[in-house]
Amino acid sequence: MRKILVAGNWKMNGSNAMAKELASAVANGFNSSSSVEMAVFPPFPYLNAVAEASAGTALQFGAQDVNENQAGAHTGETSAAMLVDLQCQMVLVGHSERRANYGDSDARVADKFAAALSAGLLPVLCIGESLEEREGGETEAVISRQLDAVLAKTGIDGFAKAVLAYEPVWAIGTGKTASPEQAQEIHAFIRDKLSALDGIIAGQLRILYGGSVKGSNAAELFAQTDIDGGLIGGASLTAEDFLAIYNAVA
Ligand code: PEP
């Protein structure tokens, strides 16, 4: 059985005090023995605060991005080894905001995914189509292209120690959630595509849904056969809203 993962992407929000308080409230607000895991992705400067607040609890955490290089002349960037040094267990790669605004091409995302794996981090690979692509009937082609770039770099074996997050861009931060059926259709497409390469890896892979998930819609979404949790933006910024998602599914 795949364990549900409820993961919160704080994006560029918060402060040191907020990071400590929120991480601590989340860490102490869920039961580590349930079949649901929880993780948060704070901004880089607050990783240490979250490490301290979550020490000794089951709350996992990671960064929102990672550089694909190991070290050297990359001013302003952060390597996978540095994230491990800060006790991160995971890292987001290819979030749509980075793909759209910060030069994360499919190839670069694949390099970041591989860098995370080599350092022993669990990459959470974000994929998804824009509204224009969906309306143009290109959803499956876009998802395939995004997956193929990573497959070309790491092969299917790369997905044995990774998590996928299907995030239709039109549903992120818009309040428009994909219906459980719409999301399930794409999750099944993703699992089928990867199953053709390795049925065991694809069967064990967790595929999260992201896009305006809240306490009120989480249970129905996560009840779908191929939806194994959620990547949550807005509703991860207060412990009450984030734990409501946990409580809806635990
Ligand atoms: C996200 O940022 O990955 C996200 C899904 O945001 P929201 O939940 O606010 O739509």
For the segment 75-92, what is each residue's pLDDT rounded down to a tens digit? 999 999 999 999 999 999
Mean pLDDT (the chain) is 97
Domain boundaries 4-249, CATH class: alpha beta
Percentages (nearest 5) of helix, strand, coil residues in the chain: 50, 15, 35
Q: Is 173 in the pocket of ligand 1 (CB under 6 A)?
A: yes
Measured from the CA of 165, which atom of ligand 1 is nearest? 3
- What's the pLDDT at 32? 84
Choose the catalytic residue: 95, 97, 129, 187.
95
Tally of CA atoms within 13 A in the half-sphere of 139 that contains its CB = 18
DSSP string, 131-193: HHHHHTT-HHHHHHHHHHHHHHHH-GGGGGG-EEEE--GGGTTSS-PPPHHHHHHHHHHHHHH
Query: 13-21 long-range contacts, Cβ below 8 Å, gap at least 24?
Result: 13/43, 13/237, 14/42, 14/43, 14/46, 14/237, 15/46, 16/45, 16/46, 16/49, 19/43, 19/46, 19/49, 19/50, 19/53, 20/49, 20/50, 20/52, 20/53, 21/53
Ligand 1 test: best mutation among 11, 174, 216, 231, most atoms within 8 Å of CB?
Answer: 231
- Give the domain ranges of the chain: 4-249
Bridge partners of residue 209, in order along the sequence: 166, 230
- What's the pLDDT at 145? 98
Q: Is 230 in the pocket of ligand 1 (CB under 6 A)?
A: no
Catalytic-residue membership of 167: yes
Distance (angstroms) between ligand 1 centre and the Cα of 233 equals 3
Q: Rounded to the nearest 10 degrees, what angle do helices 180-195 and 139-154 cross at?
A: 40
Distance (angstroms) between ligand 1 centre and the Cα of 218 equals 13
For the segment 14-36, what is each residue's pLDDT rounded down to a tens digit? 999 999 999 999 999 999 888 99
Ligand 1 test: best mutation among 6, 170, 172, 227, most atoms within 8 Å of CB?
Answer: 172
Average pLDDT over residues 155-178: 95
Catalytic-residue membership of 133: no
Atom 2 (ligand 1) nearest CA: 233
Cα(185)–Cα(165) distance, integer angstroms: 14
